[in-house]
Structures are given as C-alpha cells and as structure tokens.
Amino acid sequence: MDGVEGTGVGASVPRREDDRYMRGRGQYIGDIKLAGMKDVAFLRSPVAHGHIRAVDIPDALRSKVTIAADMVGVKAIRAVTALPGFKVSEQPALADGKVRYVGELLAMCVAGDRAEAEDIAQAIAVDFDELPAVHDMLQAREADAPLLHEQWGDNVFLESVVDDPNFDTVAEKATVHIMREFRTARQCMAPLEGRGVVAQWDNRLEQLVVYSATQMPHIVRTGLSDCLGIDHGKIRVIAPDVGGGFGYKGILLPEEVAICWLAMQVRHPVRWLEDRREQLSANANCREHHYVVTAHADSTGRLIALEAKAHVDSGAYSAYPFSACLEAAQVGSILPGPYDFEGFRCTTWSSATNKPPILPYRGVARTGVCFALELMIDAIAREVGREPHEVRQLNLVPASAMPFDNITAKHFDSGDYPECLRRAVEAIDVPGIRARQAKGEADGRLIGVGLSIFCEQGAHGTSVYSGWGIPMVPGHEQCSARLTPDGELELRIGAHSHGQGLETTLAQVANEVLGIDIDAVKLVHGDTQYTPYSTGTWGSRCMVMSGGAVARACQAIGERAARIGATLLQTDVESVQIENGNVVAPGGTVSLAEIARVWYLKPQDLPPDVDPAGLEVTVGYKPDRDTGTFSYAAHAALVAVDPELGHVEILDYAIVEDGGVLVNPMIVDGQVSGGTAQGIGTALYEEMPFDAQGQPLASTLADYLLPGPVEVPDVRILHMETPSPYTEFGQKGIGESGAIGPPAAIGNAINDALKELGVEVDALPITPRRLLALIQAAAT
Amino acid sequence: MKPVAFDYERPASLEDAIALLSGAGARVLAGGQSLGPMLNLRLAQPELLVDITYIPELKTAERQGDGLWLGACVTHAEIEDGAVPDVTNGALAFVAGGIAYRAVRNRGTVGGSLAHADPAADWVTCLSALGADAVIAGPSGERRVPVSEFLSGAFETALEVGEILRGVWIPTLSSAASWGYYKFCRKAGDFAEAIGAVLQDPERGIVRTVLGATNARPIVIDGAYGDESVRASIDSQGGDMDAYDRQVHFVTAKRAAMIAGVRVA
Ligand SMILES: Cc1cc2nc3c(=O)[nH]c(=O)nc-3n(C[C@H](O)[C@H](O)[C@H](O)COP(=O)(O)OP(=O)(O)OC[C@H]3O[C@@H](n4cnc5c(N)ncnc54)[C@H](O)[C@@H]3O)c2cc1C
C-alpha cells in the first residue's frame, strides 16, 4: 500500500533499519564476541517425567559443570497469577530432584567452544526413577493420571468458569443445536534467530551485563532480579538486533537465569546460543487447545447462545511473565468473537502436562478460538442451508452499535465488521466460485471457499492485566526524548523492535509532531541502562503505546523548544508554533537545531529567566481508555483439495483489514503477510507431536514443517480505516492479525470443498493423513 | 549441536581414499547434505572423514556402452542443469530438479544419495525404475550390482566396510520409451510421502513400476501395469504401511502410470 505523501503518520516510508539488515550488518547475539568468552551447552533431560536418582560427573570435568545443587540461593522462576484457584509451579533454572519434560535442563557445561561443551555434557550420566508421563491435556485430568506437581493433588493450573444463570432458558429458544469438538496442535514458534544470551560480570560497575535476544529487556531484568536475588541496578539487560520473536522472546528462560548465575561466579563472559533442536523440542512450544463447543441458533442461523468447554495444554510450568493461564483466560473471554448474541458460558482448564511450558505465540489464544468459532458458524450455515457469509452478517456487531460492550465485557472501540466481511466476499468472489464449483475442475480436485472474521485486541493495559494479576502489568508507557547539541532528536523507549521497524515508525511519529527530518531522529531502545521501564513488545502494543508516548514526548519537547525559541525570536511563546522542525513566529524562524545549539553550547545567549527545564523530557502515556484497541479483519481463502492424496493447495487468499490509522501502511502489510504465512503453517503444516511417553517427535525442520515460499500464496491485502477513538492518531494494534485468521478460513474452505463427501475437519494442522482419514471415514 | 572432533582428509585418488577408509572409524564424505546434519546431531561420530569430492574420476559423466556412466560425486544440480548427457528422455534432469532446494542440489551427490539409502530419496526410486547398476570399488577390487539389489533396506546397502560407491551406470532408453515420475510431498523440497515411478520401453521389452518412499527399499513390479497388482504388491511388500501409506503409494503409482501413458484415467 502506498500511503500518504511525506514521512509522517500514514506514509509508507522504507524501513531505515533495513539498510543494515539487508547488508548482513545487523548485530545479533551470535555476532557478539567478548574477549575470553566461553560457551555453554546444557545437558537436557531425555525422559519426560522422573526423579533424578544420581548425576555422575567425571571428576576431571566437575569444575566445568553446574547442577542444581551448586546454585545455592537462586530462586525458581515463579509466574503466579491472581486468578482464584491458580496453582503455583516452581520452575528451577536447573532441574532439582524431578524432571517434568524432555529437554528440561539438568546440567550446565562450560568450555572454550560449544562442541567441547557438548562433549562434556555427553560425558555426564544421569540416573532416573522414571514415572509415567502425562502426554495429553485431557489425560491430565483423568483420576488416575500421574501428578506433575504432587502437592497440587491434580494436574490443573487453573479451572475458570464464565457462567450465566439464565443460560439454559436462553438456549432453549434455539431450534438448531450443534456440537463440535476441535483440537489445535502443539506448535513451535520458529523465529529465524533462536534465543541466546551472553552474560558478563562487570567489576567496575558491579553489574551483571546481559545481552539477550529478547523482546522485553526490562521484564527480563525484573525476572532475573527476582531469581538471582540482586537489585535491578546490578543488572543491565541489552537486547541487540533481534531476529524475530513472535512471543517466544518475551519469556524469561531458565537458560537465562542459569547463564547469568554462572557469569557471576566466573571471571569471563559466558554465552549460550540456542540451536534449532533445542528450540523445537524443548523451548518454543505454543498453541495446543481442545474445544467442545455447542452453538444454539434459530432456523435462520441467528446465533442465540454459545457454550464451550476448553482445555489448554499448558505444559509443565507456568512461564514467566505471561503465566500458564493467559491462554485459557483469553479463550473464556474472546470466544464470542465479533458477534452479538444473548447467552454464553465457558469453562476452561489449563492442564499441566509433561511437555515444555506453553508460551504465547502471535495471536495467542485467538488463532485457536477463531478456528473453533468460525468452523461453528459454517456448521450452522450448512445446517440451516445458507451461505456462511449470510449467517455471519446476521450475527456480527453492526457499525451502528459501536463502541460496543460485548457479552464478555470486551469493549469494541470502533469499526464496521459487516462491511469488512462484505468486501472480503467480494474480493474472493463467492458467486464466481459457486459457479466454478458447479462446473467442476478438469483435474478432479475439489475447490472450496472459506471465510473467517475476527478482532484483535491490542495494547490492552492496566485494567485488563491487573485482573489477571500476572507478574507483569503494563502501566503508562514512557518515552524519554531529548534534543542533542546538533539538533538530533533522541527517543528512548523501553519496548524493543524484533523486526517490526520501530526505528522507522517512531521517527515518523516524531516527524508528524515536530516536522523534524526522520533522519535526524535516533531511536534508542533495547537497553535497560538507557531506556525507561517498559513491559516491552508484545500484544500488538508498540504503535499505540510507544507511538503515543513518543508523540507526547515530542509535544513536550516542542513546548520547551518553543519557549526558548520565542526568547531567541524576541517574542512571546503564544505567538510561535512548531513547523517543519522550526519554531516559527510572524517575524522570524529559528530551527530546533539552532535552539539546541544555543541551549547547550551558547547559554550566554539566553536570558537569565529562561525556562531551566531544558530539552530533555520523560513522558508517560496511556490511551484515553486502556481496554485495548480492536482492529479486525476478514480472511477469505479459495482452496483446491486433492481427494485422493489429501493435499490442499491455496489458490487465492484475500484479506480485508482495519487497523485504524496506519502509521506506515507498507510495514503493516508486511506484518499481515508474515502473520498470514504463520497462520498457513498453523492450518496445514506445523505440529510438534509427542508420544505417550512424552517424547517430542519432531526435533529438526525436516520433521517440523514450516510453510515455504511455494506454500504461501500472494496474499491480497485490502484496507479499511476506522480510527480508534482512544489513541493518539487513531491507530490500532495490528501485529498479530495475520496469524489469527488462516486456520479458520482454510478449514472452512476445505469443508466447503468436501461438503458433498460429508467431511468436516476437526483438528489442526489439516494434513494429508488427517484429511484422507476423514474422507475414508465419511465414505464408510 | 556441534559434531564431535574428527580428522579430515581429502585424497586425490580412489586408491588413496580406499586406503584411508581401511582405518577404524573412517567414513566417506561426499556432498555432506545428509552426513552434515547427522554429524551435527551427533548421530554419526566418525574419527576420520574422507572427502571424496576432489577425486577427478568420481566427477565424470559420459556415455559408456549402451548407457550413461555417472561418477558418484556428480551433483543433483549438474544433472538438473543438463551438464550430463541425456540417455533417459529427460527423466534424470526432471527428477534432479525436484530434489530438495537448489542449495542442497548444488552439493548433494547421486552417489551420496544412494549410499545413504534413505527410502524417501529420489535417486533410490528413480534409478531402481531405470534399471541402473551400482559400481562399487573396494580393497579387493570392483563389483557391479543392480541398484535395486544395492539397496538392501532402509538406510542399508550392499556396501561393505571400506568400500566406496564409484558410480552408477544407467541404460539408454529407446526413443519410444516413456516414463512417469510422481512424487507426493507435503511441501516443495520436502522428502516424499510417496513416490511412484513407471517406465515403459517397448523396444527393450520393459514395463516397470516402482513404489518409493516406503519403509524399506523400493517395491519393484516388473510387467504390465495394473491397479490390482500394485495393490497386491503394497499388501505383500509394504511392511507395516498403514491405510494412509497404502493409499498415497497406490495413488502416486497410478498417477505415474498415467503420465507414462500405460494407464488411462
Ligand atoms: C533440506 C534437505 C532436503 C532434502 N530433500 C531431499 C529430497 O527431496 N530428495 C532426496 O532424494 N534427497 C533429499 N535430500 C538429501 C540430499 O539429496 C543429499 O544430497 C543426499 O541424501 C546425500 O548426498 P551427499 O552427497 O550429500 O552425501 P553425504 O551427506 O556426504 O553422505 C551421505 C552418506 O553416504 C555415504 N557416502 C556418500 N558418498 C558415498 C560414496 N560414493 N560411497 C560410499 N558411501 C558414500 C556417507 O558416508 C554418508 O553415510 C535432502 C537433504 C536436505 C539437507
């Protein structure tokens, strides 16, 4: 998308950071080389569940190996929530007494290089009393299931209930009742760059300096401070260039705690670089849900009530800071989707299993929820014999109702959902596809069209997160801004870019406010030493929160500069304004650069009564309401299914997206495209299976399939623009949307293609194996 | 993960390579596209790698008798690009182009692929269908076996310790010959879920159907193509194939037969 002219809000400015990325000059964790640095390899548990009986380390290697018993005084990672009934897990940096998943850290081995460190790990023998494994979230709740955390008495982090005493009375009004069961696979986030940490103790500063591939440097510091028992001031976390995160880099890992502890014991820097096998089989797990959903509708397809029982496979521990319950809490609150109906109830269970902790992945629970809900809508449509888009139109919240508080008290800020859907139907050409289906395909494949529509809550703040009471509750987002002597504008924020292009978009915001050239704007981020505290980059919040904070800080700088400028122009501050990086009065102009030069280098030119506040400010920002922005989108997919091989090809894919005012439309399109590729992975390819012993069955990208360029079609992205009434420029969070809609749209398209065969998909990813089994079952 | 420490030699002649391989813990390195990952995952922990890609005679590709000689170290990319004479009416180039991604094809070799004997590999199925011979060199001289015998099972071959696969000899197809090759994989460049290969060469009196990407060596069916004989072979030789495997193997064979023109839709 082209966007508006110029370099302010709305312009598709090329990304400034791409110059170093595209030339291979980015500086990632793997590029950091400190003198004397040694490498760490972790010995990981080969069993999913068991007591550690003995660890046998050859004497000659003992000084190079750390086990739990060595880490005296280090606290376990605890990600507690305030939700009533939540059970706490203690995740030690190195397994202590018991292991609860394959890949859990047993020992930390340090050597001159990684290969040697792995040699040491290979020489350690660990003896286990193996226990039967909990390998599935439903099995976890069976009466005789083995217990992960014995003191709990069961394997449930949290059961939460959204109830409505009148539900049955409401549901009775319905004539159509449909029940379906769905499963989404356990997935692995797969950023190009894995996790990695370099840590060093600085004797002069008495400070632990931690370079970490993280999207949340301040939260990592808080977590490290808790676990290591040292003050925040003794820890500096630096996040250099970060090669993708998607949520995975928002987590405090046990590896980080262990490495940092080690750095405090030894006299040299230490490093751990995650490899793909560690990432896939032990770390970046996400997304695994199970649903039983019942929809109650009338004979036209009008939804009257919806009820669900949902499980989330939370894995062995509550991960810091998002906890084991964020995912299920979301399920219970977002399942109603963009629809308006009368009755809702939902029970969710966050099951503990002998698998790696589940972590929030782009879209978090929305992707699974959207799949479950949107397949239900199509099932209703089939049942009442109408086009799925007509049934959606009956149920969507209308534009006239905005802003709208839905049945779970979500506050939809603005938008025209029915129009968005209408445009998606038009873009994919549903009538044309119906005609083509009637003719049939020459190659014998079956084609089908599918839709999904959903909203994406972004930048939700204090009021939302304090309710969950997880270790991290976002407050005001801050920006420190200062003009330097040569007129550059430094912006310091605590959030971090892991590929989103904040160095560009936040400069655009400064340009919008001050008219300053974007090349004169420097973003300082990714370093706790230099930036104000922030919960970091997650939940599609940066453009709203950091963008808002930058705008306010620039306004404040503008006011300061105006006062000095007015003095220099020998006029009063009421008669000046900021234009194109200058302070302008009717009788003259002085540039911000000149004002800065005088303030810093020629203070003798300023009158004695000049405002002493200077050209440096820190401003905190929250939108007018902090319940979140609601961007929304409709996805439309056309697929061809090979009924003999179960292969699915995406023939066309269109998205109509409303993210409010887009600060940089080109970057937004990139976000939507990338997310959609990930959503296609969720729909058709990505799965981390475990066997009954809790062994992960995929440990390389040969077994864990990611979609490639051939599998991801050219996605057509169309935009609507309904500003948010609550944010600085009307912008909304839009970073996750692309990853939410595809499984639902593609699942519905496949169901549409196979309608005559009586096939309905019920599990993700929709692999040839699953599809052929469904086709065969339907035929018998 | 990183490999264990190993020594590396790059001999210039086959004799030197064979001599180096006589030591314990020695292993051939060709393109490294299968061995590399195995080293990194520490599934292979050799003491010595003998890199054979600098041995000139293993890089040759030329017509020889009524067929084509391909040295073991000819790469997938060289075959894809037509840098070797075409005796198979385009079959070799077509199959090569469908292996993995270009980066893998640039280094991966036909000999390495056969010696690795992954049932899902393309040359394993393709060369069985074409009736190629494998030529093996070792301390006690040279021997020649049909590729279908060279492959003795999943990741198992007729190679004895210390032996090197020198190359393959592929018989020339007559101009009237037709072939069909249908590879079913979940994504482009991925290893196959199932491969069907069918060759029909009336002048040489050959009709052959090969089912690849099984759990063992390819299933070779000589004689006229028939849906029923394919199903019967899957039943008798498919090992522990489940319903899905049976279905996709049957369908890929059927589609290969249609492409080769020995079966109509
Ligand atoms: C991402 C990826 C995707 C792939 N997809 C496919 C695919 O779709 N289809 C496919 O067919 N293949 C695929 N491959 C495998 C690829 O074709 C390899 O090139 C091939 O399997 C091995 O050849 P190489 O020359 O790299 O052998 P190497 O990796 O060097 O060696 C493999 C094994 O063979 C032995 N060896 C090698 N050469 C000889 C010889 N001349 N004599 C005796 N022993 C020898 C080695 O000791 C080793 O055990 C893929 C590989 C990758 C990395």
**pLDDT, averaged across chain A:** 97
CA distance A763 to A450: 16
Task: Check pLDDT > 70 for residue A1.
Answer: no
Task: Check pLDDT > 90 for residue A76.
Answer: yes
Closest A-chain CA to B41: A277
Selection from B135, B116, B99, B109 nearest residue B44 by Cα: B116
Task: Check pLDDT > 80 for residue A2.
Answer: no
Amino acid at B37: P
Q: Which atom of ligand 1 is nearest to the CA of B185?
A: 8
- Out of B4, B37, B244, whose CB is closest to A773? B244
Look at B42 and A710 and tell me if their CB atoms are within 8 Å. no
A277 shares contact with chain B (CB less than 8 Å): yes
Q: Kindly report the nearest CA distance between residue A377 and chain B, in angstroms.
A: 29
What are the start and end residues of each CATH 3.90.1170.50 domain in chain A?
32-131+191-283
Report DSSP state, residue A281: I
Look at B1 and A122 and tell me if their CB atoms are within 8 Å. no
Look at B2 and A772 and tell me if their CB atoms are within 8 Å. no
> Do the bridges between strand B48-51 and strand B7-9 make them parallel or antiparallel, or are there none, so unpaired?
parallel
Closest B-chain CA to A42: B1
Closest A-chain CA to B2: A115
CA B17 – ligand 1 centroid, Å = 18
State the architecture of A32-131+191-283 in CATH terms.
Alpha-Beta Complex (3.90)
β-sheet with B48-51: strand ranges across: B7-9, B48-51, B26-29
Look at A773 and B1 and tell me if their CB atoms are within 8 Å. no
CA distance A58 to A65: 10
| Chain B, window 21-80: residues with a beta carbon less than 8 angstroms from a chain A beta carbon | 37, 41-42
Look at A768 and B193 and tell me if their CB atoms are within 8 Å. yes
Tens of pLDDT, residue by residue over B206-230, are: 999 999 999 999 999 999 999 999 9
Tokens of B34: 């299968």
A710 shares contact with chain B (CB less than 8 Å): yes
Look at B41 and A700 and tell me if their CB atoms are within 8 Å. yes
B244 shares contact with chain A (CB less than 8 Å): yes
Task: Check pLDDT > 90 for residue B189.
Answer: no
Selection from B212, B220, B218 nearest residue B194 by Cα: B212
CB A650, CB A680: distance < 8 Å: yes
Question: For residue A169, how far is the Cα from the chain centroid?
Answer: 38
CA A190 – ligand 1 centroid, Å = 25
CB B130, CB B88: distance < 8 Å: yes
User: A37: helix, coil or strand?
Assistant: coil
Look at A645 and B243 and tell me if their CB atoms are within 8 Å. no
Query: In chain A, what residues touch B191 (CB-CB under 8 Å)?
Result: 702
| Chain A, window 627-686: residues with a beta carbon less than 8 angstroms from a chain B beta carbon | 644-647, 685
CA distance A549 to A459: 13
Tokens of A775: 């086709």
The binding-site residues of ligand 1, defined as CB within 6 angstroms of any ligand atom, are: B 27-35, 52, 72, 99-100, 104, 108-109, 111-113, 115-116, 121-123, 159, 164-165, 191
Tens of pLDDT, residue by residue over A628-656, are: 999 999 999 999 999 999 999 999 999 99
Tens of pLDDT, residue by residue over A556-600, are: 999 999 999 999 999 999 999 999 999 999 989 999 999 999 999
B184 shares contact with chain A (CB less than 8 Å): yes
Q: Which atom of ligand 1 is nearest to the CA of B52?
A: 41
Half-sphere exposure of residue A586: CA atoms within 13 angstroms, side-chain side = 4
pLDDT of amino acid A551: 98
Task: Check pLDDT > 70 for residue A80.
Answer: yes
CA distance B26 to A621: 65
CA angle, A642 then A645 then A650, to 5°:
40
Mean pLDDT of B7-21: 97
Tens of pLDDT, residue by residue over B50-89, are: 999 999 999 999 999 999 999 999 999 999 999 999 999 9
Calculate what percentage of chain B has a pLDDT beyond 70. 100
A777 shares contact with chain B (CB less than 8 Å): no
CB B218, CB B118: distance < 8 Å: no
CATH topology of domain A285-398+415-462+625-779: Aldehyde Oxidoreductase; domain 4 (3.30.365)
Query: In chain B, what residues touch A275 (CB-CB under 8 Å)?
Result: 1
Look at B188 and A708 and tell me if their CB atoms are within 8 Å. yes
DSSP string, chain B: --PPP-EEE--SSHHHHHHHHTSTTEEEESS-TTHHHHHHTTS---SEEEE-TT-GGGG-EEEETTEEEEETT-BHHHHHTT-S---STTHHHHHHHTSS-HHHHHH-BHHHHHHHT-TT-HHHHHHHHHT-EEEEEETTEEEEEEHHHHEEETTEESPPTT-EEEEEEEEPPPTT-EEEEEEE-SSTTSPPSEEEEEEEEGGGTEEEEEEESSSSSPEEEESS--HHHHHHHHHHH-TT--HHHHHHHHHHHHHHHHHHTSS--
Selection from B141, B148, B260 nearest residue B212 by Cα: B148
Tens of pLDDT, residue by residue over A657-697, are: 999 999 999 999 999 999 999 999 999 999 999 999 999 99
CA diameter of chain B: 56
CA distance A534 to A761: 42
Look at A772 and B189 and tell me if their CB atoms are within 8 Å. no
Question: Where do the domains of chain B lie, and which CATH numbers do they carry?
Answer: 7-51 (3.30.43.10), 59-171 (3.30.465.10), 178-260 (3.30.390.50)
Look at A768 and B190 and tell me if their CB atoms are within 8 Å. no
Query: In chain B, what residues touch A648 (CB-CB under 8 Å)?
Result: none
A770 shares contact with chain B (CB less than 8 Å): no
Report DSSP state, residue A356: P
Tens of pLDDT, residue by residue over B131-152, are: 999 999 999 999 999 999 999 9
Look at B244 and A647 and tell me if their CB atoms are within 8 Å. no
To test ligand 1's pocket by mutation, which of B21, B27, B34, B151 has the most ligand atoms within 8 angstroms of CB? B34
CB A623, CB A727: distance < 8 Å: yes
Look at B188 and A115 and tell me if their CB atoms are within 8 Å. no
Write the ipTM.
Answer: 0.96
For chains A and B, CB pairs below 8 A equal 59
Query: In chain A, what residues touch B97 (CB-CB under 8 Å)?
Result: none
Tens of pLDDT, residue by residue over A324-379, are: 999 999 999 999 999 999 999 999 999 999 999 999 999 999 999 999 999 999 99
pLDDT of amino acid A299: 98
Tens of pLDDT, residue by residue over A440-463, are: 999 999 999 999 999 999 999 999
The CATH number of domain A18-25+476-621 is 3.30.365.10: yes
Quick count: other Cβ atoms within 10 Å of Cβ A347?
Answer: 18
Amino acid at A609: D
User: A591: helix, coil or strand?
Assistant: strand
Task: Check pLDDT > 90 for residue A224.
Answer: yes
Q: Kindly report the nearest CA distance between residue B184 and chain A, in angstroms.
A: 8
Q: Kindly report the nearest CA distance between residue A445 and chain B, in angstroms.
A: 14
A701 shares contact with chain B (CB less than 8 Å): no
Look at A645 and B42 and tell me if their CB atoms are within 8 Å. no
pLDDT band at A3 (very low <50, low <70, confident <90, very high): confident
What are the start and end residues of each CATH 3.30.365.10 domain in chain A?
18-25+476-621, 285-398+415-462+625-779
pLDDT of amino acid B240: 86
Amino acid at A120: I
Mean pLDDT of A22-40: 97
A275 shares contact with chain B (CB less than 8 Å): yes
Mutate to test the interface with A, among B118, B186, B190, B246 (most CBs of A within 10 A): B186
Report DSSP state, residue A61: G
Look at A118 and B188 and tell me if their CB atoms are within 8 Å. no
Query: In chain A, what residues touch B243 (CB-CB under 8 Å)?
Result: 772-773, 776
CB A745, CB A636: distance < 8 Å: yes
pTM surpassing 0.90? yes
Closest A-chain CA to B248: A645
Mutate to test the interface with B, among A44, A116, A644, A705 (most CBs of B within 10 A): A644
**pLDDT, averaged across chain B:** 96
Q: Kindly report the nearest CA distance between residue A178 and chain B, in angstroms.
A: 30
CA distance A274 to A605: 56
Tens of pLDDT, residue by residue over B164-186, are: 999 999 999 999 999 999 999 99
Please name the residues in contact with A385: beta carbons below 8 A apart, sequence gap of 6 or more. none
To test ligand 1's pocket by mutation, which of B35, B128, B186 has the most ligand atoms within 8 angstroms of CB? B35
Tens of pLDDT, residue by residue over A698-709, are: 999 999 999 999
DSSP string, A428-451: HTHHHHHHHHHH--TTS-EEEEEE
CB A507, CB A520: distance < 8 Å: no
